[in-house]
Structure 1
Amino acid sequence: MSANPQLDPVLARIDADLPQALDRLMDLLRIPSISTDPAYKPDCARAADWLVADLKGLGFDARAAATPGHPMVVAHGGEGRRHILFYGHYDVQPVDPLALWTRDPFDPAIEDGPKGKVIRARGASDDKGQLMTFIEACRAWKAVHGSLPGNLTIFLEGEEESGSPSLIPFLEANKEELSCDLALICDTGLFDSAVPAITTMLRGLCKAEFTIRAASRDLHSGMYGGLARNPLHVMSRLLAGLHDETGRVQVPGFYDDVEELPESLRAQWQALAFDHGRYLGDVGLSVPAGEQDRTPLEKIWSRPTAEVNGMWGGYTGAGFKTVLPSEAHAKVSFRLVSHQDPVKILTAFRAWAEAQMPPDVTITWHDGVEGAPASVMAISDPAFEAARQALTDEWGRPAAFVGAGGSIPVAGYFKSILGMDAVLIGFGRDDDQIHSPNEKYDLASFHHGIRSWARVLARIA
């Protein structure tokens, strides 16, 4: 018997109505809502209107809110103890190169895949199939109980795949309307394509581009070599000194605001049995780099990094031009964790680099001191554990709190602008080929995703 007797008939309704749910998803997938290409602006508006009409049919007070770019879909409905916001995005990536698709990317179909049936179309996984799992869970609940499963706000963006230029202004302008007790985001995936997961840590990012200059012009190496300073030598020593022999970053104060991983999370991560050999082997590597006293998952989820993303200078064409270049250039980025402040990190890096400039050498910075901090969710909120138990019940294997090496900016904006944590749950798989030709979403992910949200809402809403 279910822990919540109201839930069982909802799950049965989801199972019975799966063909109709697929039909609705197919209708949405047929709309080519490519946000980066102005030619598809009417289609983005059409997708927003489709969602508004669907949400109104479920009893939501819904609208397509205009922005300087593509509309935001905002809907409110239901009653409950906690006010919960759900976020997804209806825009999709371009489809190029079209010749690599096995079918029209906006003519969705159910196909047989090596691991079961899949939904093949652009946006199937990122993010239309994912956002529709939540809407279909609400639909089933409404059909069974005559009401929505809680006090809900649905917020669907139309510019996520084009940098979200309207997002921050919209959140700031509509802060009172959109501020809730908790956010739910469905734009992530299963761990290793199999384990249900809630992402609770997202690394932040800050970047620096700079030029090291020595002589006033490029110099003949026969006339000046050995006497004049070579900025490429200075740059090489600087960047080589960014880490010590154990992989630790050498910028003073870099680790001051980095918290150790709680033992409860460390145990969960160890239980995931992450195969770093396969992970590295997939890209032709075998030996883990980075901090030698950290596990592979810690390195990519909960530890900060300093990476050289590019360095150049001098003559790089065919043959030789034997000169001492007057300039050397580099791009360096930092992935941030815990309470690391982007401004503090970049200020410290600049001071560290400038202190190492020898006589006659100057360093010039080409961008401002800015970036985005990490997002660390307050998993002490009982909603996180409740959601983890709900996922465990649905998928039949223990769900895990996991980290993410990259960032999902909207989660940080919800925290910094709206003051709420986000529970990031998704059902994508590693082989969904998002942003690539032949994107797909497993039928099992769609089906279990709907059932998962019904379970989560039954526990927290």
Structure 2
Amino acid sequence: MMDVDKVLAAAAAGREASRARWFELLRIPSVSAQPAHAGDCRRAAEWVRAQLAGMGFLAQVRETGGHPVVVAQHPGPTGTGPHLLYYGHYDVQPPEPLELWSSPPFEPVMTEGPNGPRVVARGAVDDKGQTMTWLEALRFWHETAGGPPCRVSVLIEGEEEVGSKNLAAFLETHAEELRADVAVVSDTNQWDAATPAISTRLRGMLYTQIDIRAANKDLHSGLFGGSALNPINLLTRILGELKDEAGVIQIPGFYDDVPELPAALAAQWNALGFDERAFLGGVGLSEPAGEMGRGALERLWARPTADVNGIWGGYTGEGSKTVIPAEAHAKVSFRLVPGTSPTKVLAGLRDFIVARLPEDARVSIQVFSMSEGIKVPADSPYVEAAKGALAATFGRAPVLMGCGGSIPVVSSMKQILGLDSLLVGFGLEDDQVHSPNEKFDLACFEKGIDSHIRLLDALSRIQPR
């Protein structure tokens, strides 16, 4: 077995080269949501494939119904340890609004922050930077020991930022090839800049667009006002009834499958000392919202939500235009806890809206993404291995935390491949993910590499069942 300290020493000596490779990937504008960047998405996939091939992996770019995925395999030492499946994504969010960036979004720059140097670029942390932490760990195992210490497969997709809409079909088609003992994912956060974390639960997602139509054309509000149905008025009234004054969602049956937080877990989360007012103060807010009577971390990690993400209709240009619009539209999303069916929530939402429609209104609901929430067994040997690797890197034990966000592929890998995921991430709250001036602290990037080097060593010592 290779001495892990030699691999760590190689990583320490190769910091500048690691950073240069990270910057190369960040310069590729692989925006999956914009057709104009389809070629850039493929270029990013080819770049990743070439990196893996250079580490001794059998690596291929595979086609899907959309942007391609990268699949790579390394046998590792014969008969040693479990089979690991590493997952990441090379696609990024659109950078707009461009005028709010302090530097060009696809030209990474190093700036100084409260925790030392940081890199600012679209994808710096989500997920190019985080994916590079384990890619670089694999690289230094290759350079030092000739390869990883156990069998490793890699799956890197290009559509995570648009809901991984073609990945489930790919997993089903290639299930036997991708089946492993555990998946390793770095797309989550640390607890804080000095404290690592393992995420043991994710919320699921239902993302919809609600379209309400009435008259067959926009109408003059002077001629028809007071007689004709206004879809914007109707839609806003319905959306306003989604929650009561205590923040409780009013869709019948919505909470049927939402469990109460176990007392022991509630006590564990309370002991973390989360400062919600400071958390909100960082984004210019002062008062908590959401379900009254629930703790802050319970609301963020273990309770479902309903949010209007956008609303439009009628005239929205400069000046005035007195119309009663024919249509009104809203994007509405639900974060769902483990055990809640997004299909059941969708049916409840449809019934909730239809029950409030007058005779002349028609509704259609588009679904952009659906995924179930996930709980990871906190007592698994893989979590225990991660605890040790993170503690050795950071000098303190990791926090076992929840995550209010959603990673659709984690749900898909559980349902299709039967895999639990080890969610070890190195982002921070202030990374401005999906916003202008996204960043990743250099210390987080480098500790991420070292953590993954140690994690590979620790995982390779587990005997799979």
1:51 matched to which residue of 2?
48
Give deviations 1:146-166, integer Å, cap 9, x for gaps.
331211101112333455444
2:280 matched to which residue of 1?
280
Counterpart Cα distance in 2 of 1:285 and 1:455: 39
Within the candidate set 364, 367, 375, 1:366 is matched to: 364
Whether the 8 Å CA contact 1:117–1:442 is kept in 2: the answer is yes
Name the amino acid aligned to 1:279: F
Counterpart Cα distance in 1 of 2:195 and 2:17: 27
Name the amino acid aligned to 2:292: Q
Whether the 8 Å CA contact 1:86–1:184 is kept in 2: the answer is yes
Matches within 5 A, 1:295-314: 295-309=295-309
Matches within 5 A, 1:11-410: 11-77=8-74, 78-79=76-77, 80-96=80-96, 101-206=101-206, 207=208, 209=210, 211=212, 239-309=239-309, 332-355=332-355, 361=359, 364-367=362-365, 371-410=370-409
Whether the 8 Å CA contact 1:212–1:235 is kept in 2: the answer is no
Counterpart Cα distance in 1 of 2:93 and 2:230: 44
Whether the 8 Å CA contact 2:220–2:322 is kept in 1: the answer is no
Counterpart Cα distance in 1 of 2:327 and 2:36: 42
Whether the 8 Å CA contact 1:198–1:400 is kept in 2: the answer is yes
Whether the 8 Å CA contact 2:2–2:145 is kept in 1: the answer is no
Counterpart Cα distance in 2 of 1:241 and 1:88: 39
Rg comparison, structure with higher value: 1
1:94 CA displacement: 4.4
Q: Say if 1:139 and 1:235 are closer, same or farther in 2 by CA, change over 3 A.
A: closer
* 105-114 vs 122-131, greater mean Cα deviation: 105-114
Q: Say if 1:449 and 1:59 are closer, same or farther in 2 by CA, change over 3 A.
A: same
Aligned residues: 454
1:343 CA displacement: 2.2
Q: Say if 1:91 and 1:286 are closer, same or farther in 2 by CA, change over 3 A.
A: closer
Whether the 8 Å CA contact 2:115–2:193 is kept in 1: the answer is no
1:448 matched to which residue of 2?
447
* 437-446 vs 83-92, greater mean Cα deviation: 437-446
Secondary structure of the equivalent of 2:286? coil
Counterpart Cα distance in 1 of 2:200 and 2:223: 58
Give deviations 1:45-84, integer Å, cap 9, x for gaps.
3433333232222221112223454332211111433211
Counterpart Cα distance in 2 of 1:17 and 1:237: 59
Q: Say if 1:361 and 1:31 are closer, same or farther in 2 by CA, change over 3 A.
A: closer
* 239-248 vs 272-281, greater mean Cα deviation: 239-248
1:446 CA displacement: 1.6
* 105-114 vs 440-449, greater mean Cα deviation: 105-114
Counterpart Cα distance in 2 of 1:413 and 1:179: 12
User: Normalising by structure 2, what TM-score?
Assistant: 0.82
Secondary structure of the equivalent of 2:205? strand
Name the amino acid aligned to 2:202: L
Counterpart Cα distance in 2 of 1:326 and 1:30: 44
Whether the 8 Å CA contact 2:219–2:323 is kept in 1: the answer is no
Counterpart Cα distance in 2 of 1:97 and 1:242: 30
The reply on whether 1:458 has 2:457 as its aligned counterpart is yes
Give deviations 1:263-312, integer Å, cap 9, x for gaps.
45333322332211122334443332322221011112110123345677
* 444-453 vs 409-418, greater mean Cα deviation: 409-418
The reply on whether 1:431 has 2:430 as its aligned counterpart is yes
1:448 CA displacement: 0.4
1:183 CA displacement: 0.9
1:8 matched to which residue of 2?
5
Whether the 8 Å CA contact 1:45–1:71 is kept in 2: the answer is yes
1:201 CA displacement: 2.2
Whether the 8 Å CA contact 1:52–1:62 is kept in 2: the answer is yes
Secondary structure of the equivalent of 1:367? strand
Q: Say if 1:220 and 1:305 are closer, same or farther in 2 by CA, change over 3 A.
A: same
Counterpart Cα distance in 2 of 1:17 and 1:308: 46
Q: Say if 1:264 and 1:144 are closer, same or farther in 2 by CA, change over 3 A.
A: farther
Whether the 8 Å CA contact 2:179–2:417 is kept in 1: the answer is yes
Q: Say if 1:54 and 1:222 are closer, same or farther in 2 by CA, change over 3 A.
A: closer
Q: CA RMSD in A?
A: 3.8
Structure 2: gaps (5+ residues): 461-465
1:144 CA displacement: 3.4
Counterpart Cα distance in 2 of 1:67 and 1:39: 18
Whether the 8 Å CA contact 1:212–1:361 is kept in 2: the answer is no
Whether the 8 Å CA contact 1:304–1:334 is kept in 2: the answer is yes
Counterpart Cα distance in 2 of 1:219 and 1:421: 57
Q: Say if 1:49 and 1:356 are closer, same or farther in 2 by CA, change over 3 A.
A: closer
Counterpart Cα distance in 1 of 2:89 and 2:312: 38
